């Protein structure tokens, strides 16, 4: 015990410069993240204004019940996880592909213009994307259906056909995130020492081999970190996207309802703080378990690639 | 540019100061004016004369006390945003308040659609006194449940808002009660927000209708329209759904889940205190079948559930033949479309002429008082002034005379087009003293609106005990949330006729709702209705 | 420095593999760029169309019934917009610089192998990404405990230290060989000097990336202003525009559900679809112009050897 204590103060002194550098970030995190975190107790309380966070009465797990009572809990959890997995895997592949190809392109002007264009969707809010999607897929004046009818085909009723939606949602998700996401990989590629490439070229590897055996391994730390960060949100649905693209079209819910949209519908009128905290807390716990396991797996491979 | 703005500001300031001086000197003259307004209001409603005279007495009693009061600032939250001339108008209001009760009102805003700010204000212990509220859509019930609003006792109201207490009908207070206690002052204002249908006259002629005066005729008109490749109603059947049960004399039960669309009560018979659960109600099942027929026939697009169009868009663009909305909204768009296409001859039709109608509830707008505030007495005095002083009422409602509106006389006004509206100025409305809209060159649509409005007001239902009832969801909060989560999965497709098999979907819907706890909710509802009956 | 260091295999320029790769790369990037560009062109055209045309026919590549109505609504009072722009620009600059310094400094410490507690601290930071107390306690903290209502700090603080950015930064710094830092240590450099003189120049692309993300977060933020700013003079651009659209939309929704009557209906005839589109253009414009500044760092590589020498 005694030696351990001594060890602590010894380390405190030894790490003083590091700790000084950490100070602003730690102070900020304590004040703006850990201090309000007491609000988590609301998930187990019947909130009242007069009682506030501490004075309100405990009500056990009552706040969690509505989610399971809706009878759709499993469906929305499944949808949330499957969509997120799809988005993570396909999104990562596309973003890395764009980053790799952009670095291989020699024309600087082309690279700059292409990259600028890819960033534009980031600025189009989901509300507008929703309207656009309606313009593309609606049965009357949707671009696709107009094209089909002009070619003499039969209209596809996208908005009454749930199975079309995973594809549509995937497309918009990739589209909106491609510029933003690829920048991170681009920066990682740019951070790789150029000498490594030159030596690979001298070794006689062709470009494809160079990409797969030099570039990709070199950006692996970034890929893994970003992957772990995404895993950390695997039980959270992107509410804005699902809500603006699908809206309140109950016909599509089987394929499109996620935890966040369900909670929104359930709590829209009552606006119950306890129940919304409960849903948030439940998602946090599930994400926590997933990410700790994933982090453990990664640490078996290489401890430096882990989140913590 | 900046200079000119500064100049303008200086000018406004100078004007305001001048006004202040003027009102200071000629306070008596203003008083006369407001009296005159009151007399016209009295002439309008002879019944209220007694109340008004008493009100005048109340005011004159209070006035000497006003100058003795310590100075206070009252913060009031409204929904929406500042219109033009808002600050000027409140400058004038504050002059009056300052003189009478030594108080200044400071207005803060919560934007439309920034709903969660409402509850945050109470959570953070923010310092404010008054806030707009309304039953159901305006957070009244849930704020009371969380202990946000102060209880207003009769003594308090009599003492600090005597004119309001005198003039407001007993029914208004009755509606504001939750568990027998009053937590808001409702506005003294009701209107008939009955949905009517704006229909293309040329198409009616074409298909051989001289009048569309029943629900069935409207549906058959939709079918005729489709034969021409025209949508009957481009936003689907959701708007027709309300007409369906209203023309049978049924209305949504206040406070029940899904905006009351699942549980109805019978307005035709004041003695009938039972509720109707729509999924077990034959007319609902028939309605769903009928809508499926119409949807399959193509009376509205198959993607109505996702449409971004608003109710009027189809009619105005010529893609739809009708629109369903309240008379005021139909009037605006019918006039607009007629002006662009005179050959369309759109007019408004009441498809349930044999029915009676229901007025909105008083609690559809009102003011709640922050339970944490220590200046409740003064806030009530402020409310009293807003609601019963015609001068303030007009300033707060319409803006500045001559700038935002013109008083045409006869208790009517004309807008100048300088928009003052933009906020929830409805919390203190008082029908007895409000000015009414004046139509300069009435179109056939305007005339029809006036006719309909008169007709509706003459044919109101008798007061039903359940009109003032609001279901308290608190004991079954879990079930209500679960039901809300399930509802739109089945309900919206059903009432728009978009499901494959109507009967099977209704069965599935019923089972899903039962799993979510619908039966608990209905049992609780029955219990609350029984208690309510016993208490009243 | 070479213009594009990554296309280093000059000696194999004519190889079949290089040609194949170039064809794939150009085609792939051009296609994606086009798919991203077209919708934005539609947004711009839409913002220059009449409200009626948009609600009736939907979006199109070219403006329909050319109209500047939406921009007139946005710029009704041009000085207010200019002030909102100024607020946002100042906020973005100050926030991005402060944020970059704190985030990089923290990330650096978390990568140092000589710092034995780095995993605990990483976890300490990461934990806040998973668990949060929700809106109520945060709101109470800002308005009641810190009294930051109507204070620019309430706009600056929420975004100044992002854990996501921190961890991405950490992964970039990890790419620097330890030997380089150890050598500097041997030469007697302190940690601060190593950070600012050796690490920072080496992670320029990363700084540009994280800086860009932080700047975008500030630029797009309307939520903090919605919660904490009451004084219209202090509104940043996004919130100024957002509340214009939102007010009209929210009000329309109320009228649509028959909750309030149509007698104060003048707001209904205002454009909302085109206003939303114009808003997107007004917000995105300056960013598109400023983007090349950050872009410089994504198109040229870093040679560690150069720094070493």
Can you give chain C as a three-state secondary structure string?
Answer: CCCCCCCCCHHHCCCHHHHHHHHHHHHHHHHHHHHHHHHHHHHHHHHCCCHHHHHHHCCCCCCCCCCCHHHHHHCCCHHHHHHHHHHHHHHHHHHHHHHHHHHHHHHHHHHCCCCCCHHHHHHHHHHHHHCCCCHHHHHHHHHHHCCCCCCCHHHHHHHCCCHHHHHHHHHHHCCCCHHHHHHHHHCCCCHHHHHHHHHHHHCHHHHHHHHHHHHHHHHHCCHHHHHHCCCHHHCCHHHHHHHHHHHHHHHHHHHHCCCCCHHHCHHHHCCCHHHHHHHHHHHHHHHHHHHHHHHHHHCCCCCHHHHHC
Chain A adjacent subunits, 3+ CB pairs under 8 A: B, C
| The predicted structure's pLDDT at residue A2 | 44
Q: Which is nearest to A238 in space by CA: A185, A186, A292, A283?
A: A283
C182-228 per-position pLDDT tens digit: 888 888 888 999 999 989 988 888 898 899 999 999 999 999 999 99
pLDDT confidence bin for C250, thresholds 50/70/90: confident
| The predicted structure's pLDDT at residue C14 | 60
Phi, psi of B351 (to 5 degrees): -90, 5
Least confident piece of the model among A82-86, B224-228, B294-298, B510-514: B224-228
Higher pLDDT, B482 or B193: B482
Average pLDDT, chain A: 90
**Nearest-neighbour CA in chain C from B155: distance (Å):** 31
Mean pLDDT value of segment A145-172: 92
| The predicted structure's pLDDT at residue B40 | 39
| The predicted structure's pLDDT at residue A108 | 85
Specify the DSSP class assigned to residue A158.
G
B512 in contact with chain A, both atoms CB, cutoff 8 A: yes
Specify the DSSP class assigned to residue A211.
I
Rounded CA-CA distance C143/A216 in Å is: 47
In chain A, residues with a C-beta closer than 8 Å to the C-beta of C301 are 189-190, 192, 194
Q: Does residue C19 lie within any of the structural domains?
A: no
What proportion of chain B, given as a percentage, has pLDDT over 90?
41
B357-366 per-position pLDDT tens digit: 988 889 989 9
Q: What is the DSSP string of B305-366?
A: GG----TTHHHHHTSBSEEEEEHHHHHHHHHHHHHH-GGG-EEEE-S-TTS-B-PPPGGGSE
How far CA A10 is from CA of A6, A7, B151, C108, C124, in Å, comes to: 6, 5, 61, 22, 21
Average pLDDT, chain B: 83
pLDDT beyond 50 at B251: yes
The answer to whether B189 and B426 have CB atoms below 8 angstroms apart is: yes
C251 in contact with chain B, both atoms CB, cutoff 8 A: yes
SS3 B283: helix
Q: Does residue C20 lie within any of the structural domains?
A: no
**Nearest-neighbour CA in chain A from B301: distance (Å):** 7
Q: B28-47 burial string, b = 16+ CB within 10 Å, else e?
A: eeeeeebeebbeebbebeee
Q: What angle do CA B153, B157, B160 make, to 5 degrees?
A: 130
In chain B, residues with a C-beta closer than 8 Å to the C-beta of A66 are 477-479, 481-482, 485
ipTM of the complex: 0.90
C116-157 per-position pLDDT tens digit: 899 999 999 999 999 998 888 999 999 989 999 999 999 999
Residues 6 or more apart in contact with residue A97 via CB below 8 angstroms: C28
Q: Does residue C291 lie within any of the structural domains?
A: yes
B381-398 per-position pLDDT tens digit: 999 999 999 999 999 988
Q: Which residue has the tokens 């028939």?
A: B286
Q: What is the DSSP string of B100-122?
A: HHSEEEEEEEE-TT-THHHHHHH
pLDDT beyond 90 at B515: yes
Half-sphere exposure (CA, 13 Å, Cβ side) for A25? 29
Split into its structural domains, chain C has a count of 1
Pinpoint the alpha helices (H) of chain A. 2-14, 16-29, 52-55, 62-69, 73-104, 108-119, 126-137, 143-150, 165-191, 194-202, 207-210, 216-218, 220-231, 239-246, 253-256, 259-267, 273-301
| Nearest residue in A to B491, CA atom | A250
| The predicted structure's pLDDT at residue C125 | 96
Q: Does residue C1 lie within any of the structural domains?
A: no
The answer to whether C135 and B120 have CB atoms below 8 angstroms apart is: yes
Higher pLDDT, A141 or C201: C201
| The predicted structure's pLDDT at residue C309 | 35
Q: Does residue C35 lie within any of the structural domains?
A: no
Q: What is the DSSP string of B19-70?
A: HHHHHHHTHHHHHHHHHHHHHHHHHH-GGGHHHHHHHHHHHHHHHHHHHHSP
Burial of B479 (0-12, 13-18, 19+ CB in 10 A): buried
Q: Whole-prediction pTM value?
A: 0.87
A141: nearest CB among C7, C21, C58: C58
Least confident piece of the model among C24-33, C95-104, C222-231: C222-231
Rounded CA-CA distance A176/C130 in Å is: 24
pLDDT confidence bin for C301, thresholds 50/70/90: low
Q: Which is nearest to B497 in space by CA: B208, B301, B342?
A: B301
pLDDT confidence bin for B9, thresholds 50/70/90: very low
The answer to whether A151 and C65 have CB atoms below 8 angstroms apart is: no
**Nearest-neighbour CA in chain C from B175: distance (Å):** 16
In chain A, residues with a C-beta closer than 8 Å to the C-beta of C297 are 187, 190
SS3 B205: helix
Largest CA distance in chain B: 76
Residues 6 or more apart in contact with residue C230 via CB below 8 angstroms: B108, B109, C149, C150
The alpha carbon of B314 is separated from its chain's Cα centroid by a whole number of angstroms, namely 25
Question: What tokens were used for B22?
Answer: 């003027």
| The predicted structure's pLDDT at residue A5 | 53
Least confident piece of the model among A95-99, B435-439, C205-209: B435-439
CB atoms within 10 A of CB B7: 10
Please indicate whether, in this complex, the C-beta atoms of A36 and C137 are within 8 angstroms of each other.
yes
Mean pLDDT value of segment B436-451: 85
Question: Domain range holding C214?
Answer: 77-307
Q: Does residue C50 lie within any of the structural domains?
A: no
Please indicate whether, in this complex, the C-beta atoms of A250 and B489 are within 8 angstroms of each other.
yes
Please indicate whether, in this complex, the C-beta atoms of B81 and C247 are within 8 angstroms of each other.
yes
pLDDT beyond 60 at C10: no
Please indicate whether, in this complex, the C-beta atoms of A253 and B479 are within 8 angstroms of each other.
no
Q: Which is nearest to C206 in space by CA: A116, A190, A218, A226?
A: A190
Mean pLDDT value of segment A42-65: 90
pLDDT confidence bin for B63, thresholds 50/70/90: very low
pLDDT confidence bin for B34, thresholds 50/70/90: very low
pLDDT beyond 70 at B54: no
Question: What tokens were used for B225?
Answer: 């329209």
B329: nearest CB among C144, C247, C265: C265
B302-327 per-position pLDDT tens digit: 888 888 777 888 888 888 899 998 88
The answer to whether B397 and B429 have CB atoms below 8 angstroms apart is: yes
> Which residues are C196's β-sheet partners?
none
Mean pLDDT value of segment B263-286: 92
pLDDT beyond 50 at C283: yes
Least confident piece of the model among A179-188, B45-54, B370-379, C20-29: B45-54
| Nearest residue in C to B317, CA atom | C56
Q: What angle do CA B380, B384, B388 make, to 5 degrees?
A: 170
Least confident piece of the model among A169-173, A234-238, B471-475, C87-91: B471-475
SS3 B191: coil
SS3 B177: strand
CA end-to-end distance (rounded Å), chain C: 14
Phi, psi of B276 (to 5 degrees): -120, 125
What proportion of chain C, given as a percentage, has pLDDT over 90?
46
| The predicted structure's pLDDT at residue C299 | 62
| The predicted structure's pLDDT at residue B38 | 40
| The predicted structure's pLDDT at residue C270 | 66
Give the torsion through C-alpha atoms of A128, A134, A135, A138, to 10 deg: 180
SS3 A203: coil
Beta-strand pair B412-415/B436-437: parallel
In chain C, residues with a C-beta closer than 8 Å to the C-beta of B112 are 246-251, 253-254
CB atoms within 10 A of CB B99: 16
Mean pLDDT value of segment C75-87: 90
pLDDT beyond 70 at B451: yes
Question: What tokens were used for C186?
Answer: 């041997």
Rounded CA-CA distance A291/A149 in Å is: 48
Higher pLDDT, C99 or B406: C99
pLDDT beyond 80 at B419: no
| The predicted structure's pLDDT at residue B62 | 45
| The predicted structure's pLDDT at residue B31 | 38
Q: Which residue has the tokens 């979006």?
A: C59
Domains of chain B are 31-188+363-397 (3.40.190.10), 195-359+464-535 (3.40.190.10)
Rounded CA-CA distance A277/A59 in Å is: 13
Give the CATH number, domain containing residue C241.
1.10.3720.10
A191-245 per-position pLDDT tens digit: 777 777 777 777 777 888 888 988 898 888 889 999 999 999 999 999 999 999 9
> Which residues are B181's β-sheet partners?
B178
Q: Does residue C69 lie within any of the structural domains?
A: no
| The predicted structure's pLDDT at residue C269 | 59
Mean pLDDT value of segment C281-292: 85
Higher pLDDT, C250 or A88: A88
Rounded CA-CA distance B51/B42 in Å is: 10
pLDDT beyond 80 at B346: yes
pLDDT beyond 50 at A124: yes
Among C130, C164, C191, C210, which would you mutate to test the A interface (most chain A Cβ atoms within 10 Å of its Cβ)? C130
**Nearest-neighbour CA in chain A from C225: distance (Å):** 17
Higher pLDDT, B45 or A58: A58
Average pLDDT, chain C: 84
B518-535 and B477-495 are packed helices; what angle lies between their axes, rounded to 10 degrees?
110
Rounded CA-CA distance C229/A88 in Å is: 36
| The predicted structure's pLDDT at residue B261 | 84
pLDDT beyond 80 at C255: no
Q: Does residue C143 lie within any of the structural domains?
A: yes
pLDDT confidence bin for B111, thresholds 50/70/90: confident
């Amino acid at each position: 015990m005694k030696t351990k204590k001594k060890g602590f103060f010894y380390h405190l002194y030894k790490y003083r410069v590091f700790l000084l550098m950490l100070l602003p970030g730690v102070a900020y995190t304590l004040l703006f993240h850990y201090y309000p975190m007491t609000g988590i107790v609301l998930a187990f309380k019947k909130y009242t204004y007069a009682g506030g966070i501490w004075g309100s009465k405990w009500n056990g797990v009552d706040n969690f019940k509505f989610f399971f009572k809706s009878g759709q809990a499993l469906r929305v959890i499944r949808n949330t996880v499957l969509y997120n997995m799809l988005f993570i895997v396909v999104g990562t592949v596309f973003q890395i592909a764009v980053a790799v190809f952009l670095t291989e392109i020699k024309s600087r002007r082309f690279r700059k213009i292409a990259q600028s264009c890819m960033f534009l969707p980031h600025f189009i809010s989901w509300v507008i994307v929703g309207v656009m999607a309606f313009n593309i897929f609606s049965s009357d004046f949707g671009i696709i259906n107009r094209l089909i009818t002009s070619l003499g085909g039969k209209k596809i009723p996208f908005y009454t056909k749930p199975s079309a939606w995973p594809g549509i949602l995937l497309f918009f998700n990739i589209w909106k995130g491609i510029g933003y996401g690829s920048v991170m990989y681009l920066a990682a590629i740019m951070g790789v020492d150029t000498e490594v490439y030159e030596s690979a070229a001298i070794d006689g590897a062709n470009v494809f081999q160079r990409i797969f055996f030099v570039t990709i391994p070199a950006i692996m730390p970034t890929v893994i970190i970003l992957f772990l960060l995404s895993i950390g949100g695997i039980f959270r649905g992107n509410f804005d996207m699902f809500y603006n693209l699908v809206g309140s079209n109950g016909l599509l819910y089987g394929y499109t309802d996620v935890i966040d949209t369900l909670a929104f519908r359930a709590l829209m009128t009552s606006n119950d703080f306890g129940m919304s905290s409960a849903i948030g807390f439940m998602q946090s716990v599930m994400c926590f378990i997933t990410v700790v396991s994933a982090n453990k797996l990664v640490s078996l491979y290489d401890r430096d690639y882990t989140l913590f | 540019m900046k200079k000119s703005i500064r100049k303008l500001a200086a000018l406004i300031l100078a004007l305001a100061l001048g006004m202040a001086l003027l009102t200071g000197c000629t306070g008596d003259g203003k008083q006369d004016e407001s009296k005159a307004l009151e007399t016209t209001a009295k002439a309008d409603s002879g019944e209220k004369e007694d109340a008004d005279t008493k009100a005048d007495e109340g005011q004159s009693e209070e006035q000497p006390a006003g100058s003795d009061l310590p100075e206070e600032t009252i913060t009031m939250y409204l929904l929406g945003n500042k219109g033009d001339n808002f600050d000027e108008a409140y400058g004038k209001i504050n002059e009056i308040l300052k003189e009478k009760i030594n108080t200044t009102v400071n207005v803060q805003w919560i934007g439309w659609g920034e709903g969660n700010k409402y509850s945050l204000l109470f959570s953070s212990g923010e310092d404010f006194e008054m806030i707009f509220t309304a039953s159901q859509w305006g957070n009244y019930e849930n704020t009371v449940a969380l202990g946000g609003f102060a209880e207003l006792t009769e003594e308090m109201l009599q003492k600090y808002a005597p004119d309001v207490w005198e003039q407001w009908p007993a029914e208004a207070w009755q509606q504001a009660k939750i568990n027998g206690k009053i937590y808001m002052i409702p506005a003294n204002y009701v209107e008939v927000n009955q949905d009517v249908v704006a229909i293309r006259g040329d198409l009616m002629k074409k298909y051989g209708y001289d009048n569309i005066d029943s629900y069935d005729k409207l549906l058959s008109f939709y079918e005729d329209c489709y034969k021409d490749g025209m949508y009957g109603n481009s936003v689907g059947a959701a708007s027709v759904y309300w007409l369906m049960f209203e023309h049978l004399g049924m209305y949504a039960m206040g406070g029940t889940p899904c905006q009351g669309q699942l549980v109805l009560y019978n307005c035709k018979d004041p003695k009938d205190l039972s509720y109707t659960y729509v999924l077990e109600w034959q007319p609902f099942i028939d309605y769903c079948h009928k809508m499926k027929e119409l949807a399959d026939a193509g009376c509205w697009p198959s993607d109505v559930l996702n449409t971004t169009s608003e109710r009027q868009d189809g009619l105005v663009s010529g893609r739809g033949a009708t629109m369903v909305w309240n008379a005021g909204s139909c009037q605006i768009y019918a006039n607009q479309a007629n002006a662009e296409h005179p050959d369309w001859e759109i007019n408004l039709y009441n498809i349930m002429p044999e029915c009676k109608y229901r007025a909105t509830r008083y609690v559809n707008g009102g003011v709640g008082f922050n339970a944490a505030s220590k200046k409740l007495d003064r806030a009530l005095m402020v409310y009293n002034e807003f609601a019963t002083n015609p001068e303030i009422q007009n300033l707060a409602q319409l803006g500045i005379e001559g700038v935002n509106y013109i008083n045409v006389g006869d208790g009517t006004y004309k807008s100048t087009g300088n928009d003052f509206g933009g906020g929830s100025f409805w919390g203190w409305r008082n029908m007895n003293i409000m000015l009414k809209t004046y139509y300069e060159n009435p179109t056939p649509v305007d005339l029809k609106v006036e006719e309909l409005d008169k007709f509706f007001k003459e044919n109101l239902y008798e007061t039903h005990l359940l009109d003032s009832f609001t279901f308290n969801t608190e004991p079954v909060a879990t079930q209500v949330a679960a039901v809300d989560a399930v509802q739109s999965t089945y309900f919206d497709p059903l009432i728009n006729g978009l499901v494959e098999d109507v009967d099977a979907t209704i069965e599935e819907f019923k089972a899903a709702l039962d799993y979510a706890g619908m039966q608990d909710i209905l049992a609780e509802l029955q219990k609350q209705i029984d208690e309510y009956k016993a208490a009243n | 420095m070479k213009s594009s260091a990554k296309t280093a295999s000059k000696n194999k320029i004519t190889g079949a593999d290089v040609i194949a790769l170039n064809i794939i790369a150009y085609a792939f990037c051009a296609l994606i760029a086009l798919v991203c560009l077209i919708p934005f062109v539609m947004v711009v055209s839409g913002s220059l169309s009449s409200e009626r045309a948009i609600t009736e026919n939907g979006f199109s590549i070219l403006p329909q019934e050319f109209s500047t109505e939406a921009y007139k609504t946005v710029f009704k009072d041009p000085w207010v917009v200019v002030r909102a722009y100024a607020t946002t620009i100042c906020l973005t600059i100050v926030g991005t610089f402060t944020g970059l310094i704190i985030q990089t400094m923290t990330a650096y410490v978390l990568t140092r192998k000589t710092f034995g507690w780095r995993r605990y601290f990483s976890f300490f930071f990461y934990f806040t990404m998973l668990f949060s107390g929700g809106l109520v306690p945060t709101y109470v903290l800002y308005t009641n405990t810190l009294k930051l209502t109507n204070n620019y700090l309430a706009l600056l603080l929420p975004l100044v230290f992002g854990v996501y950015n921190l961890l991405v930064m950490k992964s970039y710094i990890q790419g620097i060989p330890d030997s380089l830092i150890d050598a500097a240590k041997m030469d007697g450099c302190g940690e601060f000097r190593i950070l600012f003189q050796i690490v920072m120049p080496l992670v320029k692309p990363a700084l540009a990336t994280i800086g860009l993300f932080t700047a975008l977060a500030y630029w797009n933020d309307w939520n903090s202003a919605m919660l904490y700013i009451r004084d219209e003079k202090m509104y940043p651009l996004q919130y100024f525009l957002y509340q214009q659209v939102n007010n009209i939309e929210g009000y329309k929704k109320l009228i649509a559900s028959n909750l309030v009557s149509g007698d104060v209906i003048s707001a209904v005839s205002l454009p909302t679809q085109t206003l939303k589109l114009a808003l997107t253009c007004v917000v995105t414009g300056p960013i598109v112009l400023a983007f090349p500044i950050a872009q410089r760092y994504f198109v040229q590589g870093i040679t560690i050897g150069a720094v070493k020498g």
